[in-house]
Amino acid sequence: MNLTLKIWRQKNAKAKGSFVTYKLEGASQEMSFLEMLDYLNTTLIKKGEDPVAFEHDCREGICGTCSLYINGRAHGQDSMSATCELRMSRYKDGDTIVIEPWRAKAFPVIKDLIVDRLAFEKILEAGGFISANAGAAPEANSIPVPREHADKAFDAASCIGCGACVSACKNASAQLFIASKVSQLALLPQGRAEAKSRARNMIAKADELGFGSCTNTGACEVECPKGISLAHIARLNREFLKATL
Amino acid sequence: MSNFLKASIGRKLLVGLSGLFLFSFILVHLTVNLFLLAGQESYNIATHFMTTNPVIQTIEPILAIGFILHIGISVWLTFWNQRARPEKFLKVDQSKSSTWPSRNMFVLGGLIFIFLVIHISNFWYKINFTEIGYIEHGGEMVKDAYTMVATSFSNWWYVVIYVAGAVFLGFHLNHGFQSAFQTIGVSNEIWRKRWTVLGNFLSVLIAAGFSIIALYFLLKTL
Ligand code: SF4
Ligand code: FES
């Protein structure tokens, strides 16, 4: 299949970037989206050009490294799927595909399609932990956890920290990410001890880093590759209320 | 408390709470308007009650504060959110991930605000501060607000503005209602669906309710 790719190219963090259009011939519907980009890069390298920089690691939807905004949607058109899980069978011969990096003040572009997501680490450092002594693993049943809480905490913990929620959000808000981290801890007894300062500090950090605020459009939940639920944001709001009032 | 107001979530909470408060006012407002359909006497007695009852009179300034908070903080948050994405995407397709009203609350709010200014100067200001005709109901002289409303609604262009205002309000509430409950944390997977369904119902009810009354008066003059 032949494709027209409109890709954001930017030499480094300081350079001014722009869109470059590539005509790619001979891509196959059996490729994954990232393989299609690998193939594009091979053709660029053969021509002596700089390949397109994009992030990827596991290529099976578990690491959260891949991060492309494809045709106006975070991780492309498929729901519950990261960019690396997107297949070229979703496209037709002759399609034009616009590929952009995540866009947010807190996620500056480093090169081409790669953004710096250190801001997420900083939010985690502000409260996404429990400060218990990590000795040997304790007996699993010594702290009883209701099944329902365990399941919800596990759902929240499936966030892979990709940042799709931020780019899907019209306000570039990190609320879904923060909510998943707050929930996974707040639902478990070990996380209750620091629940108050956690919600408050993580929110304050996100504000300071320049993320927007949540207006509940729900776009994050739809675009999140792990289907993290908005219910976690409601829980975050409750935790925040409890912590500040 | 200072932590609360400094945080974006805290401010958003105030938007949600003030929104719910304004929503309750809208419900009362629509209820009073329904008296218009019951006839001149019922409506005039209802407005007489609303403009003279001490409880309602004390709520009025609180209502004004509600409006100021809701509008002021929303404007602030909207600008704050604009700053969070200085470089825009070239191609954005949010139509599959969120509803149109949810993405346009600021625009809808702005349109409602314009309507509100027209509306307040047309009705509330006139009823409260200008000399309008009096009429006797049950031995008491009360302002004849009914005739004033009926006259306004005999102007087709005013009805157009009014219906447009009601529809904008409906769209605004369509997102705003469930969003407020999410913001104050009174929501989970099941309740979000319930709030959404209820919000859909109430937003249609409100948009249709206000519109039908205006159209009823316009049709009566034909
Ligand atoms: S909440 Fe979803 S979209 Fe956001 S970082 Fe986690 S996995 Fe990615
Ligand atoms: S490359 Fe690991 S999630 Fe996509």
Minimum mean pLDDT range among A20-29, A129-138, A199-208, B88-97: A129-138
Q: Does residue A104 sit at the B interface (CB-CB below 8 Å)?
A: yes
List the CATH number of the domain containing A14.
Answer: 3.10.20.30
Q: Does residue A88 sit at the B interface (CB-CB below 8 Å)?
A: no
HSE toward the beta carbon, residue B25, CA cutoff 13 A:
18
Do A185 and A126 belong to one domain?
A: yes
Do A106 and A121 belong to one domain?
A: no
In a domain, A137, yes or no: no
Do A122 and A227 belong to one domain?
A: yes
Q: Tens digit of pLDDT for each residue in B156-168?
A: 999 999 999 999 9
Choice between B35 and B128, residue whose per-residue pLDDT is larger: B35
Q: Which amino acid type is present at position A16?
A: K
Do A106 and A149 belong to one domain?
A: no
Do A89 and A126 belong to one domain?
A: no
Both tokens assigned to B44: 């005039």
The Cα A113–Cα A148 span in angstroms is 39
Do A164 and A77 belong to one domain?
A: no
Cβ <8 Å between B185 and A237: yes
Cβ of A56 less than 6 Å from ligand 2: yes
Cα(first)–Cα(last) distance of chain A, in Å? 59
Cβ <8 Å between B94 and A219: yes
In a domain, A135, yes or no: no
Check if the beta carbon of residue A181 is closer than 8 Å to that of residue A175: no
Which ligand is in closest contact with the Cα of A82? Answer: 2
Q: Tens digit of pLDDT for each residue in A178-214?
A: 999 999 999 999 899 899 899 999 999 999 999 999 9
In a domain, A136, yes or no: no
Do A54 and A125 belong to one domain?
A: no
Among B213, B193, B202, residue whose Cα is nearest residue B169: B202
**What is the 8-class DSSP label of residue A95?**
-
Choice between B98 and A243, residue whose per-residue pLDDT is larger: B98
Residue A223 CA, closest ligand 1 atom number: 3
List the CATH number of the domain containing A153.
Answer: 1.10.1060.10
Which contiguous run of DSSP H or E holds residue A87? none
Check if the beta carbon of residue A133 is closer than 8 Å to that of residue B117: no
In a domain, A79, yes or no: yes
Q: What are phi and psi of A18, to 5 degrees?
A: -160, 170
Distance A160 CA to ligand 2 centre (A): 9
A179 burial class (0-12, 13-18, 19+ CB within 10 angstroms)? buried
Confidence of residue A155 (pLDDT cuts 50, 70, 90): very high
Range of the domain at A218: 117-130+145-244
DSSP string spanning A101-139? ---BTTB-EEETTEE--HHHHHHHHTTSS------SPPP
Cβ <8 Å between B94 and A170: yes
In a domain, A138, yes or no: no
CA A240 remoteness from chain centre: 23
Cβ of A87 less than 6 Å from ligand 2: no
Do A96 and A191 belong to one domain?
A: no
Distance A108 CA to ligand 1 centre (A): 18
Query: What ipTM, to 2 d.p.?
Result: 0.93
Per cent of chain A over pLDDT 90 is: 91
Do A158 and A194 belong to one domain?
A: yes
Which residue has 């006797």 as its token pair? Answer: B136
Which residue has 């309008």 as its token pair? Answer: B132
**What is the 8-class DSSP label of residue A85?**
G
In a domain, A139, yes or no: no
What are the DSSP E strand ranges found in chain A?
3-9, 18-24, 69-70, 73-74, 96-100, 109-111, 114-115
Task: Give the pLDDT confidence score for residue B119 in this predicted structure.
Answer: 93
Confidence of residue B1 (pLDDT cuts 50, 70, 90): low
Cβ <8 Å between B4 and A245: yes
Domain count, chain A: 2
Q: Does residue A149 sit at the B interface (CB-CB below 8 Å)?
A: no
Distance B181 CA to ligand 1 centre (A): 23
The pLDDT mean for chain A works out to 96
CA B122 remoteness from chain centre: 16
Q: Tens digit of pLDDT for each residue in B91-125?
A: 999 999 999 999 999 999 999 999 999 999 888 88
In a domain, A188, yes or no: yes
Task: Measure Cα distances from B146 to B47, B48, B165 in Å.
Answer: 9, 11, 20
Do A31 and A71 belong to one domain?
A: yes
In a domain, A210, yes or no: yes
The chain A residue lying nearest B81, using CA atoms, is A212
Cβ <8 Å between A215 and B96: no
Cβ <8 Å between A73 and B93: yes
Helix pair angle (A118-125, A175-186), 10° resolution: 40
The pLDDT mean for chain B works out to 94
Beta carbon pairs, A and B, within 8 Å? 148
The chain B residue lying nearest A17, using CA atoms, is B87
Assign B90 to helix, strand or coil. coil
Query: Cβ contacts (< 8 Å) between A167 and chain B: which residues?
Result: 89
Q: What is the mean pLDDT of residues B51-74?
A: 94
CATH code given to domain B2-84+101-220: 1.20.1300.10
